[in-house]
Amino acid sequence: MNFKRAVIKVGSALVSPENKGCSGKYLLAIAGFITECQQAGKEIILVSSGSVAAGRQLIQHCSLIPSIPTKQAMASVGQMQMMANWQRFFDVPCSQLLITHGDLKDRERYINIKNTLRILLNNNILPIVNENDTVATDELKVGDNDNLAALVALVSDADCLFIFSDVDGVYDQDPRHNPAAKLIPEISEITDEIYAMAGPTTNAIATGGMTTKIQAAEKAVENGIETYILNGSRNDVFESLLKGENPGTRFRAKQTATKARKHWLKHTLKSSGKVYLDKGAVNAIINQGASLLPSGINEILGKFIAGESVDLVNANSKQVIAKGICQYSQQDLLRIKGCNSNEITDILGFCPSKVIIHRDDMVVL
Ligand code: GLU
C-alpha cells in the first residue's frame, strides 16, 4: 500500500446488514484495517453511510420507501447510533463531520472543511464524514456517499479512495444473473461501456449501487486519486490489501495526486487578487518550502474572499512567484498584513489559521 492519505467509504449494507439498526458484524474487520493503516503511518478519513438504516426502526413509517422528512428523522437519530457503533472499535477518538454539496461548493466553507480535516488528522483523530441529511434538500445534496467520498478525497488532498460495499468490484456482466460474469481487476479508462456494465442498484438499503461508485472513481482518478471498489464483507479482502494486492477493481489514477492538484491550482483556478511579499517571504517560499505568514506581506490588490486563489508577487521585482488558496479575505488581510501570526486574534477577533496560505495549497511558479 503506497498511499499516504486515504478516504475509506463504507456503505449502509455493511453498517446495517439486516437494515435493522447498526451491527458490528462487518465493522470490526474494517476498523482493524483502518487501525493497521494508521499504525503504518497512513492518514485515514472515513465516509460512513448507514444513518438512515440505523435509525429506521426508531421512527414510525408505513412504506418500504419512507418520505424524505421521515428519512431525515431516521438519519438524525441513526447518526448517533452509527457514530457510537464505530467508536467502540477504535482506541483513537472519532470525530463527526456532517457536510452537504452546498458546503463543498462554497469557497469559505470548503476551506473550513479542509482546515478542520487537516487539524483532526494532525491530532491522530479519525474523522468520520456523512452527508448532513437533515438539511440537505435536492440542490444541496450530493445524494449518495460514493460521490461524497470522492469530494472528501479532493478536499482532503487524499491520494487513494477505497469504496467498500458488499460486492467484489466491477463485473463484465451482472454476477447475480450470470454465473460466468468476470470481475474486472483493473480499469484504466472509464468509458460508457464501463457505466453500462454497472446497472442500477437493487438493494433497498443502499442509495447508489455500482453507477455512483464508478462516478466517484471517475472524479477521483481525474484528480490523481487511485480508487478501489472492494467487498468489505470479506476478511480476506483486508488481508490482501495489507499485503499490497488488489482484491477488487482498481481504477488507475491519471497522474499523481500532487501533480493533478498543482496543475489545477496553476492552470484552472483563477486568481482574484495579488499579494505583494517582502524579500524574506519570497526567499522562504522559493527556497525553504514555507507557508505564507502575515509578517511577509507588504501590499494587497484585488477583491477576494477566504478560499479564493491569489497570485503571490515579489514586491521588489514585481514578478509573480507563486499562487495559492488564501485563508483570509482581502479585507481581513489588509488589517493583518505585516503582523505576527500570534497577533491575528487580537486584531480580527478570530484566527482560523496562523498561516495565510498553507504550503499544501500553494504552487511555486
Ligand atoms: N447519508 C445516507 C445515510 O447515512 C447514505 C447515503 C448513501 O448511502 O449513499 O444513510
3-state secondary structure 144-192: CHHHHHHHHHHHCCCCEEEEEECCCCCECCCCCCCCCCCECCEECCCCH
CA count, 13 A, side-chain hemisphere, 11: 28
- Count CB atoms within 10 A of the CB of residue 48: 28
C-alpha cell at 102: 452546498
Q: What is the pTM of this model?
A: 0.88
Tell me, using a 6 A CB cutoff, whether residue 255 lines ligand 1: no
Ligand 1 centroid–CA 206 distance in Å is 7
Q: Give the separation between CA 260 and CA 203, rounded to whole angstroms.
A: 35
C-alpha cell at 264: 489545477
Longest CA–CA span in the chain (Å) reads 71
Atom of ligand 1 nearest to the CA of 11: 8
**How high is the pLDDT of residue 63?**
83
Give the mean pLDDT of 120-141. Answer: 90
3-state SS class at 299: strand
Residue % of the chain over a pLDDT of 70: 97
Q: Give the separation between CA 363 and CA 365, rounded to whole angstroms.
A: 6
Mutate to test the pocket of ligand 1, among 15, 19, 131 (most ligand atoms within 8 A of CB): 131
Q: Give the separation between CA 21 and CA 97, rounded to whole angstroms.
A: 21
pLDDT in tens, 281-294: 999 999 999 999 99
Q: Give the separation between CA 323 and CA 272, rounded to whole angstroms.
A: 11
Q: Which amino acid is present at 215?
A: Q
Mean predicted lDDT score pLDDT of the chain: 92
pLDDT in tens, 197-229: 877 655 544 455 899 999 999 999 999 999 999
Atom of ligand 1 nearest to the CA of 74: 10
CA distances from 4 to 38, 67, 245, 293 (A): 10, 41, 17, 26
With bands split at pLDDT 50, 70 and 90, how would you rate the model's confidence at 140? confident
Angle at which helices 235-242 and 27-39 cross, to 10°: 10
Ligand 1 centroid–CA 106 distance in Å is 22
Tell me, using a 6 A CB cutoff, whether residue 232 lines ligand 1: no
Mutate to test the pocket of ligand 1, among 65, 130, 164 (most ligand atoms within 8 A of CB): 130
pLDDT in tens, 79-92: 999 999 999 999 99
Query: Domains (ranges, CATH) in the chain?
Result: 5-261 (3.40.1160.10), 269-364 (2.30.130.10)
3-state helix, strand, coil in the chain (%, to 5): 40, 20, 40
Tell me, using a 6 A CB cutoff, whether residue 79 lines ligand 1: no
For strand 160-165 and strand 186-187, is the pairing parallel, antiparallel, or unpaired? Answer: unpaired
Give the mean pLDDT of 98-106. Answer: 91
Atom of ligand 1 nearest to the CA of 133: 1
**How high is the pLDDT of residue 289?**
95
Tell me, using a 6 A CB cutoff, whether residue 14 lines ligand 1: no
Q: Give the separation between CA 173 and CA 9, rounded to whole angstroms.
A: 24
Rg, the chain, Cα only: 22
Give the mean pLDDT of 63-75. Answer: 90
Residue 35 has pLDDT above 90, yes or no: yes
**Under 8 Å between Cβ of 312 and 324:** yes
Q: Give the separation between CA 250 and CA 137, rounded to whole angstroms.
A: 33
Q: Tell the burial category of 107 from Cβ atoms under 10 Å away from its Cβ (0-12, 13-18, 19+).
A: middle
Tell me, using a 6 A CB cutoff, whether residue 12 lines ligand 1: yes
**How high is the pLDDT of residue 269?**
84
Give the mean pLDDT of 334-338. Answer: 97
Q: Which amino acid is present at 343?
A: E
Question: What's 264's DSSP letter?
Answer: I
Q: Who contacts 268 (Cβ-Cβ below 8 Å, separation ≥6)?
A: none
Mutate to test the pocket of ligand 1, among 133, 138, 167 (most ligand atoms within 8 A of CB): 133
φ and ψ at 152, to 5 degrees? -65, -40
Tell me, using a 6 A CB cutoff, whether residue 16 lines ligand 1: no
**Under 8 Å between Cβ of 150 and 220:** yes
Which is more confidently placed, 298 or 138? 298
Q: Which amino acid is present at 330?
A: Q
With bands split at pLDDT 50, 70 and 90, how would you rate the model's confidence at 254? confident
Residue 243 has pLDDT above 60, yes or no: yes
Mutate to test the pocket of ligand 1, among 10, 52, 201 (most ligand atoms within 8 A of CB): 52
C-alpha cell at 103: 458546503
Ligand 1 centroid–CA 142 distance in Å is 10
Q: Give the separation between CA 14 and CA 301, rounded to whole angstroms.
A: 51
Q: Give the separation between CA 141 and CA 64, rounded to whole angstroms.
A: 22
Atom of ligand 1 nearest to the CA of 12: 8
Ligand 1 centroid–CA 22 distance in Å is 13
Question: What's 19's DSSP letter?
Answer: S
Residue 252 has pLDDT above 90, yes or no: yes
Tell me, using a 6 A CB cutoff, whether residue 52 lines ligand 1: yes
Residue 12 has pLDDT above 80, yes or no: yes
Q: Tell the burial category of 278 from Cβ atoms under 10 Å away from its Cβ (0-12, 13-18, 19+).
A: middle
